[in-house]
Amino acid sequence: MYAVIRMRGCVAVRETIEDTLRMLRLNKVNHCVFLPENDIYKGMIQKSKDYVAFGTVNAEQVAEIFETRGRLEGGECLTDAYVAENTPYGSIKELAEAFVDGKIEIKDVPLMKPVFRLHPPRKGHAGMKRTVQQGGVLGNHGEEIAVLLHKMR
């Protein structure tokens, strides 16, 4: 499971890359989506790598984002009570484990929004114009995306 966070804005972005970001539902800066690991999404992420930060996540990290930034239509927060009433899972953590395992998708949870609007990183980030390998924030973080997700929770 990939976590993809849009880090850069839309000024002077090539139209093909902007279309790719739109297909990923990353319309604004600091928006995050979770994507399954398959060739289609890998190609889309590779195409937009200069505008996003991405990496692989586990159930604990997904559960943290669901708890802090999960929203329902109408702006209400995602809660354990809502998950227990509307899904076969008893809590957000169980839902996150099933989501990472591929047993359920976000669209299977009634009224849950698929995009997570994150806070800008606390204490800032390493720079917008450089990749992770150059000391920046863009590109493939691998397992270290958890640090960025925690800063943006």
125-150: pLDDT as tens digits: 888 888 888 989 999 999 999 999 99
Would you state the pLDDT for residue 125? 82
Q: What is the pTM of this model?
A: 0.92
What average pLDDT does this structure show over 92-113?
A: 95
Select from 107, 36, 59, 126 the least CA-distant residue to 4.
36
In Å, what is the CA distance from 35 to each residue of 39, 53, 77, 120, 130?
A: 11, 13, 21, 21, 24
pLDDT category of residue 100 using cuts at 50, 70 and 90: very high
Question: Is residue 47 over pLDDT 90?
Answer: yes
Segments in the chain forming alpha helices (H): 15-23, 39-47, 59-69, 80-86, 92-101, 145-151
Question: Is residue 124 over pLDDT 90?
Answer: no
Four-CA torsion 36, 38, 40, 41, nearest 10 degrees:
40
Contacting residues for 26 by C-beta, under 8 A, at least 6 apart: 4, 5, 6, 33, 48, 52, 115
- Measured between alpha carbons, how far is 35 from 23 in angstroms, rounded to an integer? 12
Question: Is residue 106 over pLDDT 90?
Answer: yes
Widest CA span of the chain, in angstroms?
47
Select from 9, 11, 13, 15 the least CA-distant residue to 31.
9
Question: Is residue 153 over pLDDT 90?
Answer: no
Angle value at C-alpha 17, between 3 and 143, nearest 5 degrees: 20
